[in-house]
Structure 1
Amino acid sequence: MDEHGTHPDGLRALTRELVSVPSHDDPTAAGDAVESWLREETDATVDRDEHGNVFGRVGDPDDPTLALVGHHDVVPPGDPQVATDDDGAETYVVEERDGRLYGRGSADMKGAVAAAMCAVRDADPDGVELCFASFVGEEVGGVGARAAIDDGFAPEYAVVAEGSTNYSADGVTDVVVAHKGRRASTLVARGENAHASVPEDGVNAVYRACDAVDAVRAMTFPETTVMGESVRGSVAVTEIDGGTAWNVVPDRCEVTIDERTVPGERAPLERAEAVEGVEWTVEQDLPPMACSDDAFADAVLSAARGVQSGRPEHVTKPHATDAGWLAEAGTACVVCGASEPGEAHTDTESVSYEVLDRCYRIYRAVAEGASGFA
């Protein structure tokens, strides 16, 4: 039992079930488990799209939609997280100790997916259609979320159940009102080969690349403020690759750049193209998120404060989630979930059962108090 009541019926068993299903190479089996549980345990209208995303809806479809959003794919497990069953099939190792569930995907984010599923089962939505959505491909650039949005998924509000626990203080589950995005790009500098004994006969692509790197180093990091919270991005050169031999002036050099973007701002990386022979190309752009509706963000924070003894706050998150894609498409988003900093993507990944109970109560309280913002 947590500080605000009994455990939600079946939440812990459901979490264990979902975490036990391998879903790093192929999320189909995990999607099957989510879909089957929703059909058997809830009154929701359940759909599975062609991409593998799973949806469950309750309430009046003519009302604004509040979505509880997660994903059931995971990153590849570490060696301690994998075992082989009697038939030689790969399974995930799932362990319970000290009030926590250990296993790949427990924190990121099958535990919170289970909490959202139970909330959809139990909530009586007030003034909204309540929609559960579990996407595929979040770990590889938001593939499922982007496909769902392209197909018309457009909730007015969304609580994305990624981690927000222990951000402002230990022992609290906060509400994220903004997070950074990530833009991955390359600078390719081109020159002309020559023998290194007569470098003046060529054009050194590495030198051009170094001039472009100097331009990047001089850039100010992007920064903004969301609901009084400061969000500061970053720009870093992370790889340089050029040249073919010690005695050849290189004709090509590639520079990799990691940029953490903030809502409404980008570093002016295109300026590096002012260096002769340099071309800038964006390889990936995961959008940042800023909550577009103060009343919604305040309502979720009020719900969070009502179900825990600590005092949660509006906070920001340092990395991208599917909330970025939804916000870019016009949904008012916050992030609120059980994962704690340092848990996701580790060989010792775990989630607190007490915090999962808390998240269930937050999600249910938001849905049942939605007439205050919808």
Structure 2
Amino acid sequence: MKRFCNGLLASALVLSLLLTGCGAAGGQQPAQASGPEQPAVRTVTDAEGNVVEVPQDISRIAVTPLPWSSVVSAIDGGSQRLASINPGALKAYSGSFFAKLDKNYATLDDTSIGSDFSINVEELLNRQVQVVIIWEYQTAEAAKLKDVGIVPVMVKNGNVQELQDSFKAVGQLLGKEERAKWVNDEYAKAYEKMKSYGEQVKKADKPRVLYLKRSDLTLQGNDNFIKESMELAGADNIAAEAKSITMEEILKLDPEIILLSDFDKFLPQDLYENRIEGQDWSSVSAVVNKRVYKTPVGIYRWDAPGVETPLMMFWLGKMLQPEIFSEVDLKAEMKAFYQDVFDYSLTDEDFGQIFNDKANAASERRIS
């Protein structure tokens, strides 16, 4: 009887162990079914206020707005994480000062993004792009990107505050928040410095300034920070509310200074010698007095929103109101900026290239 009881106890113990083992195995099934561990993510608040999740380790970024691929390069310390950029950005890079600072930029794809900011979603998927930086108005494109699992991050450029919000977003995206904060701090210092001359600017005689984006007489900057920067620099922006102007209007307004953007190949000499078909500049004060200037180009066109905007503010001040802004040492500001951002020491040749000295050779009172 004792043996029988002992046998029953032993059998019960074995059965209990078997059941416990099955229960343990059953308890492990959900963990096995959960699949591989999900990659870490972090949040980014873009310039439009959208909060999006991006992978912790981002290695493939596309950029639709022209200046912002150079912004990414500056904040990230290189273009190694860029995959696709606007063809216009690559065109601006070719033969520019920026080519000395970022050799990899020349190898970037410029076929997946259109010059009109359009996006080839299928091609971006093929290139394993994880994030696309887009303008804030590209809501339809943002929806398409989300549908295929690519994260859109929006940027804006209407004023200095929007630029700072956009730089902050890029810093979060890259995990370079401190670097973006430094850029924003430089903006804040430049902005406050320009405003500190406000009383003098207010009392000064303001030259009539015309800022042309292209030779077809479209205007530059009235839709972004340039408009405000020209006010701070003491310009009478004679076409401040327009997107384009006619030759008849120009003759009537008679600008004293004309700025030419690098978005077009036209040069001061084209106006001085009346080379542009259908336009007669011979009687315009800025042309008569040789005060037409091609604006600077560094890592990108200074008159487009980017990390060099503080330098553009100073350039405008010294160009338009040299007496008021005489204490601003633009070359020293430039040397410090490119040293801090790119660990690069500017040479005299670099200054000449950035200031477009060759293009402005025939112009009076130029900065070089």
- TM-score normalised to the size of structure 1? 0.23
Which protein, 1 or 2, shows the higher relative CO under an 8 Å CA cutoff with sep ≥ 6? 1
Q: Which has the higher strand share?
A: 1
Q: What TM-score does the superposition give when structure 2 sets the normalisation length?
A: 0.23
Q: Which has the higher helix share?
A: 2
Question: Which structure has the larger Rg?
Answer: 2
